[in-house]
Chain A
């Protein structure tokens, strides 16, 4: 994705991860800023289904040619779905970080944790 973009409807973690909340379930991924800093993603291995994620803790790693980065969980919960397509085509994280580049889907354990996340505007302000 060539142009920086930060969808309004998402919540953001200061470590450059986003969360899309849909009731008790949330989808996670990394922001445009993160994928831009990383460069072309070459490897992403999702956690196992059933894994317990803890807010603010890394739950997996993402690799470009010249860098490795932790991926931080914006919220706590249990992994119920992972994006297996990223195994063959990790570059979707660069091309479409909020759509085809989604990483995991999680059943939230504590909806109140969203208080720790930033709105789109607050995140963009953080970046500048």
Chain B
């Protein structure tokens, strides 16, 4: 265990510490216009006195630096990534090819819509597909991430109530909610109120009834929830919330479990956001980009971000047929949430995915996601792993499930964190740890539908192996990982004495 790997020996050096004065990768075009003195064009007092201290390196050095850096990353193409709530499914490479087509990649957002009909058609068809999947008729593709979509949805809700002359103060979120939900609530000017979870893992209906009053603007829910459980009471929940005139919001993070099987619109939700970087396989990119389109009911349509895409059979002033256009004349819209039209490059990829899969393929995704999760859980039970990491709820899960590492901590003296770190040595990205907050020493596992049975078997066997190791020698997991490019890092020091840039 004390033998250092080559990558560990390779100390971290930033690009700013490489290179040498005078080296360059970029060669500017020759000056083909008059070389007027800069003082004539921009007064000296407005000009920069000291150049930004960017690196001075040649192209080979630049390439080598970043390629070597890339090798210090684990990634989905290389291995299994069962992160609960993240839906780390395979990213098809076809999507990169279509996104790179010059007609997409080099299209300026302010191009006359008449000359961007391909883009508008794609966006329109994507909207229709998402509307069909959600069971809600009107879509905006503008939000750039799930939490951006959440903000859109809650601001939309605010506009809806304001239009009715109502001043509501609170938004209900379950205690299992992803942190973005309450954060969004505050940004939208509401107070977040927690609703409890019952013994079966669903919303505590009595608690909901007690808290649902005329002050409530909205209830934000995920279904299946972050425990991986489908709340069969969802119709009653929607009834209670609608009964006080409030809106029901669906956080689409867990859509992967129900596509083609059940639709949030049919469950009673009024507004839905999608995470295209989850169910619709936009690559995560190490932390984005993503996209968080929303779908809304008829009554919320007027408040959608602007512009919206409209279809008309007419012709423009020049006589060319313009089928799709942007409509900015939206007096009740909440306005813009960002510049231009949204993360179009992400929309292209998700569109290609939906065209590839079709109705049958999307249903297959959800069925397989749920099958894989239940199978993995069954394997963990069969191998005795669940004796130390029992499921938090003894019932069928959907596309993900949460185990509690509390017995393991008590009996073996290792925590969920240590288990996760030891998994790194076996070439796996660990599942989500310590979320949802409701479960002690939580381990949230979502295999997704693109994993094979062999991978699931191997992963289950590895967890069993790590527990066996820990029985013999708990210290092994506590000091893990050993074989990664760096070992456990001092996060407390990083927070206490932040060093957030390279000293130059």
Complex contact flag A–B (Cβ < 8 Å): yes
Interface residues of A (CB under 8 A from B): 40, 42-43, 63-66, 90-91
What bracket does the count of chain B residues touching chain A fall in?
under 10
In angstroms, Cα B496 to Cα A91, docked, is 9
15 A-B pairs in the complex with CB atoms less than 8 angstroms apart? A40-B492, A42-B492, A42-B495, A42-B496, A43-B495, A43-B496, A63-B495, A64-B492, A65-B491, A65-B492, A65-B495, A66-B434, A90-B496, A91-B492, A91-B496
Binary interface profile of B, 469-499, with partner A (CB < 8 Å = 1, else 0)? 0000000000000000000000110011000
In angstroms, Cα B495 to Cα A77, docked, is 31
B500 to chain A, nearest CB (A): 14
A-B contact count (CB 8 A): 15
Output the nearest chain B residue to A65 by Cβ-Cβ distance. Answer: B491
The 4 closest A-B pairs by CB, nearest first: A42-B495, A40-B492, A65-B491, A42-B496
B128 to chain A, nearest CB (A): 42
A87 to chain B, nearest CB (A): 10
Most buried by A among B434, B491, B492: B492
Residues of A within 8 A of B495 (CB): 42-43, 63, 65
In angstroms, Cα B491 to Cα A64, docked, is 10
In angstroms, Cα B354 to Cα A16, docked, is 53
Residues of B within 8 A of A90 (CB): 496
Residues of A within 8 A of B491 (CB): 65
Output the nearest chain A residue to B434 by Cβ-Cβ distance. Answer: A66
In angstroms, Cα B492 to Cα A43, docked, is 9
In angstroms, Cα B434 to Cα A43, docked, is 21
In angstroms, Cα B491 to Cα A40, docked, is 10
Residues of B within 8 A of A43 (CB): 495-496
In angstroms, Cα B120 to Cα A81, docked, is 64
Residues of A within 8 A of B434 (CB): 66
B247 to chain A, nearest CB (A): 29
Residues of B within 8 A of A40 (CB): 492
In angstroms, Cα B492 to Cα A91, docked, is 10
Residues of A within 8 A of B492 (CB): 40, 42, 64-65, 91
Given A42-B492, A43-B496, A65-B491, 10 new contacts (CB under 8 A): A40-B492, A42-B495, A42-B496, A64-B492, A65-B492, A65-B495, A66-B434, A90-B496, A91-B492, A91-B496
